[in-house]
A and B are shown apart, each in its own frame.
Chain A
Amino acid sequence: MATDKNKHLEEVLTSHKISKEQALLDKHIDKRKEISEALQEKYGSDLYSPFNSGSYAKHTAMNKKFDIDLIAPYKRNAFETLEKMYSSVYDFLYDKYKNEATVKKQKVSIGLEFNTDADGDIVKVDVVPGRELNKDQYPDDNNLNLYVYEQFGKIDKGSDRIKSNIKSQIENVKGHAEKDSVRQIIRLLKVWKFYNGKKPKSFFLELITIKAFDKKTISGDIWDKLKAVMEFIRDEVKSVSLPDPGNSSNDIADTLTDSDKDTLSYDMKRMIERIEEDSDTIKSYYPINEKFPPEDEQKSNNSYGVKTGIGLSVPPVTRFG
């Protein structure tokens, strides 16, 4: 039987709602708060108030991968160079958390992946150090310079050119006229990226989705909208420019190489063709999160379970309180 693409996509979104993993999200938020306080204690007046970024702030998060970022905005004179800022923050976080987390240098952030806790959960927080562009101007313009630790698409390692008004990036999605549809499509593309092991950064997918909504008339039901955005990516990814809303001289399109863009265009082409040919294939590109299947299906499948192998159940000595 053919799959109802719209119903399926709605179920994909529901099963990936971040609120489904509230307990895990709370752990991330608590840990981010702890890190923020530690940085404030260490750097004192050299640091403005750290703040949240990432998809949770933009309401485009999905529960398979939390994108919990902490932006640490430093004053202009706090460090001689951006590299020294990056190294100092890394050294501090490494010393503080080395026994309870893997601390690693990433493209523009320092990643902390905490050891599995008693519930089997892993908390990940990315700390993004940034330095204000002009002395004492950050409170007014929110502009920060980031340090690029490793090659990032076409952006060179060691570069300190990324100037980013991260607060503008957050507002970019939140302030879009069709923000609900934009968020839905961004979440779906993140689901596709996550389950299919694809390369584009989430930020890239966010910007190209917004661009598609700005350039094309996108209407209809959810499949129509997703298909329209995928067609835009297929046709335009190789030539599109995606100015960083935090700094228009940064082109986020440069975070992919030409070869990455060819692959992405082909992925979109192939995906559209296959789904149009056989609607069931939408399930493999955009799977439902099995941990939170749609309620009706979940209920109808539920039953009191019996372990494999038949035996007489005899419970152990048990203490109740």
Chain B
Amino acid sequence: MKFVCQHIGLSIVIDDKLVDQLCRLGSDHYPKEYGGLLVGRYVNNNKEVIIEETVLPKKFKSSAFSFERGVEGLRKTLGDLSRRNPSLIYVGEWHTHPDGRPVPSGTDSSALRTIAEHKDVFIKNPLLLIIGLSNTGYELGFYVLYKNEIHSYELEYNQQHKTEINLIEKTYGGK
């Protein structure tokens, strides 16, 4: 599926299967938060990012209201991904909001800024995917830090109908 940020003219492409995988991972940790890294590649003169995979943290702390991702093993895993053809790089983060809307909290916004400014991060515009999970389904919210402001993406119009049907069909309740 494709998400577009009309305001800044940038887009995100992510495979439905990867979204399914992330939702299942989040659902496995429900009602606590869970998350990981998004890796992918920039295409179309860096106007689009294709998210290809997730990298999961070896260590993390989580509760119903917070998720702290560790760094153990990340350098090696990201190094291996960068040597693939095509090369994959770190492009952002994802985490769940159990029983919450997929909108960034103040902590989420400042986390993106901290990441963008970090000396070991070479991308300027980290993405954030928030998955709002409930026992009846999920909602996705994609965000990017651009020129120090958080911008949201919308599902591309011609895909909305198809995806709405998909979202209705998928439920992750009953844990």
Contact = CB atoms under 8 A, between A and B. Distances in A.
Interface of A: 298-300, 302-307, 309-321
B85 interface: no
B111 A313 contact: no
A12 B174 CA distance: 57
Nearest to A321: B107
Contact of B122 (A302, A311, A321): A311
Interface of B: 8-10, 33, 35, 37, 42, 45-47, 49, 65-71, 74-75, 78-79, 82, 89-91, 93, 95, 105-108, 111, 114-115, 118, 120-126, 144, 146
Given A304-B47, A318-B114, 7 more contacts: A302-B146, A303-B42, A307-B123, A314-B75, A317-B68, A319-B69, A320-B68
B125 A315 contact: no
Given A303-B47, A315-B71, A321 B90 contact: no
The 7 closest A-B CB pairs, nearest first, are: A321-B107, A305-B124, A299-B9, A303-B46, A321-B105, A313-B90, A319-B68
A298 B151 CA distance: 15
A312 B45 CA distance: 20
A6 to B, nearest CB: 25
Given A302-B8, A303-B45, A311-B122, A321 B65 contact: yes
B71 A316 contact: yes
Contacts of A312: 75, 78-79, 82, 89, 120, 122
A313 B122 contact: yes
A3 B117 CA distance: 38
B80 to A, nearest CB: 10
Nearest to B91: A304
Contact of A315 (B9, B95, B118): B118
Interface SS majority for chain B? mixed
A318 B75 CA distance: 15
Given A305-B124, A321-B107, A314 B74 contact: yes
Contact of B111 (A299, A300, A311, A319): A319
A317 B61 CA distance: 11
Contact of A313 (B46, B105, B106, B121): B121
Contact of B93 (A303, A307, A310, A315): A315
Identify which of A302, A309, A311, A314 gathers the most chain B CB atoms within 10 Å of its CB. A314
Contacts of A313: 78, 89-90, 120-123
B78 A320 contact: no
A320 B122 contact: no
B108 to A, nearest CB: 5
17 contacts: A304-B49, A304-B123, A305-B125, A307-B121, A309-B122, A312-B89, A314-B120, A315-B37, A315-B93, A315-B121, A315-B126, A316-B118, A318-B69, A319-B67, A320-B108, A321-B66, A321-B107
Given A315-B120, A316-B115, A320-B66, A304 B35 contact: no
B18 to A, nearest CB: 18
Contact of A302 (B47, B82, B91, B120): B47
A121 to B, nearest CB: 13
A319 B109 CA distance: 10
A317 B70 contact: yes
Identify which of A306, A312, A313, A318 gathers the most chain B CB atoms within 10 Å of its CB. A318
B3 to A, nearest CB: 13
Nearest to A310: B122
Contacts of B108: 320-321
A315 B95 CA distance: 15
